[in-house]
Structure 1
């Protein structure tokens, strides 16, 4: 059951107690500063929040958000509240919550938050249930766990749901599978597919924050090491780019021939994991698939190889098998666990195989999350305006919204671009003129 949380001395003004389950309400002051700091480099979301505050496009709408509970997410939640939404927030990963941010959202803004960093799996799903107890009309997912729980365990709530949004590649894959099988019960907008999301958040955000997480956890030098990136999607591209920038010799593993060819053309060594596992010093999976690193790879790795994951779920590294292969395990430092195999060789796993950029670091920089969360906010507004026209399937973010977010970001950066002349527009719309 959720706890009723209130501060004896509220930081700003008195509020009724809020249903929430967080680590410690007294962390609110620290969280307040962190939320403010992130908001300073989120100008697009700030402009949307100002408009939402005037127009109240989400007035009275109940929204359940299953997202990483970070300072950047807090700024999204405050924009949704400014628009009139009643938000219940739970974590989308057991290790991704910033407890001080959760405390500030509860104490300072009256948001119902159900998230504690390091919560076990049972608590994680209980928190999702708590958010769903608000009978949401909109859902906002980072991995599609809310959608999954709704469709499997809380089907009685589906009649209330107008639509939802999804933030991640992993979640979109799951949702498209549901739509293809005809079991998806309400429309979802795939925020991840917006250009202003995956070209920046996935590439630059994941690249920087994953390197940040690995270094914070290990304090090891990347320069001169062999760094194996499993998967060369947008997240893998960004990670490979940043690892090379730190001086690592980057190896890419892939299953898609076209993507593998692109990695070759980008100057990376490409090989199967069966070969890469023999040479890598660092490994990081960013594929969205299961068992990318498994028994035959562990057995061939160097002594002391460091293994991590930056895909959404902790399934990319076959940890169950590694547990079975190990004769002993030892925690060496926060988020660093050493597995000693029966041969005496040691394999190091970071962050329990969960998102290392959020487990040991702070996730993506706020300036890229600015665009991702702008997509979330505007897509929620779009669903409310158009839900009567939307079918039970996965939709792309409307191109006009995507371009508007890019325009606002450029404006905030002080960057100007050209406009087509009437003659150019006519030329592009015609077929009569040739060479």
Structure 2
């Protein structure tokens, strides 16, 4: 079996992490038990490009138990948990190509390695596998039935491909499931982002001014958690409806040029390029902390920052101090990559339980409906979304009501009136 991980001697520690995460992923456990019996993915070759973490490991176990032939590579160079990667190879015989801190060349070499078995399904977190298949590896498209996409940035890229009629196979947008974007993006990103900032800096959040760029589900979660820790929160937005929502939620809303002068901690979660630019870095307070929790590090214009920098040094793990020509210092966390995975452990397993349940059931859905699906991006079918929520509530010991026949009739009719 081919693989490329940092150190196989880390495998035992990784196995414990996988087991710990599994205890907090009851929905995925139930799916795995069914998959072990039914084998709905039997003989299906899957190339997965996801964050290589203990939670992802349990998704890989589920896919393999469902009969799939899985290969896994990293969707981010800094998010890999090397012990988990080693355990997947040693204990679960799943080929992994991921090393924490790998350079860009190695990153793409690993994606190529994951594609060597001519995948029939792709699982992406950022659409890098899909992009590669549509550019350098077009000869492999003939084998692909469909794919799934985990994150907002990837869905944006894939919808662009579909709109331009260049997408060659159907994709399920796992990110758009309510049990993903509401729970994962809001509560997962909110908690894990602040966790990463605190682990990297050991700074006190209370009393600080935290600037959150973007007020989508991730931005809502980050703002909520920063506010809960006692921060004064400023939101940056370009969309009027989200801006008014942030205002009504009690946050200040202003342009980035104004916020740059008063913020202590800056967190980008927009999915767009160069949200914080050279002219913004120049006016920041001395000692400002800047990080990104959007998928790619392009949200921070680090090249522009380098142009106005006289020196830089790593002052703490995951903290690079830039001394600017004006004498001020700006601290960039985790090389501008996902701070919640670069400096922390990403989302809690409780959160990823539902996201990866969507991945597993999304893969099964594509296989069962491939002949009727067009080459475009589909939402997760609502029955799957609702069933995952039901199972999660059950696991949490939460009960809900059901409509009476009278109530169902009332909601479905127009005759009864008031």
Instruction: State the TM-score, normalizing by the size of structure 1.
Output: 0.96
Q: Give the C-alpha shift of residue 421 in structure 1.
A: 1.1
Counterpart of 1:264? 247
Task: Determine if the alignment matches structure 1 residue 341 to structure 2 residue 324.
Answer: yes
Counterpart of 1:11? none
Q: What is the root-mean-square deviation of aligned Cα atoms in Å?
A: 0.5
Q: Give the C-alpha shift of residue 20 in structure 1.
A: 0.3
Counterpart of 1:125? 108
Within 5 Å, give how 1:167-186 maps onto structure 2: 167-186=150-169
Q: Give the C-alpha shift of residue 323 in structure 1.
A: 1.1
Q: Which runs of 5+ in 1 are unaligned?
A: 1-17
Alpha-carbon separation, structure 2, partners of 1:328 and 1:400 = 55
1:156-189 CA distance string (max 9 Å, x none): 0000000000000000000000000000000000
1:164 to 139, 144, 147: 147
Counterpart of 2:16? 33
Alpha-carbon separation, structure 2, partners of 1:429 and 1:224 = 51
2:32 to 25, 42, 49: 49
Alpha-carbon separation, structure 2, partners of 1:346 and 1:417 = 53
Within 5 Å, give how 1:98-247 maps onto structure 2: 98-247=81-230
Counterpart of 2:282? 299
Task: Determine if the alignment matches structure 1 residue 428 to structure 2 residue 417.
Answer: no
Counterpart of 2:4? 21
SS at match of 1:315: helix
SS at match of 1:19: coil
Counterpart of 1:397? 380
1:369-415 CA distance string (max 9 Å, x none): 00000000000000000000000000000000000000100111111
Q: Give the C-alpha shift of residue 430 in structure 1.
A: 1.2
Q: Give the C-alpha shift of residue 295 in structure 1.
A: 1.1
Alpha-carbon separation, structure 2, partners of 1:425 and 1:433 = 12
Counterpart of 2:56? 73
SS at match of 1:411: helix
SS at match of 1:416: coil
Alpha-carbon separation, structure 1, partners of 2:363 and 2:80 = 23
SS at match of 2:374: coil
1:267-302 CA distance string (max 9 Å, x none): 001101010000000000000000000011011111
Alpha-carbon separation, structure 2, partners of 1:149 and 1:340 = 37
Counterpart of 1:90? 73
Instruction: State the TM-score, normalizing by the size of structure 2.
Output: 1.00
Alpha-carbon separation, structure 1, partners of 2:117 and 2:416 = 59
Counterpart of 1:325? 308
Q: Give the C-alpha shift of residue 422 in structure 1.
A: 1.2
Moved over 3 A (4+): none
Alpha-carbon separation, structure 2, partners of 1:323 and 1:361 = 26
Alpha-carbon separation, structure 2, partners of 1:416 and 1:363 = 29
Counterpart of 1:8? none
Q: Give the C-alpha shift of residue 191 in structure 1.
A: 0.3
User: How many aligned positions are there?
Assistant: 418
Alpha-carbon separation, structure 1, partners of 2:9 and 2:412 = 60
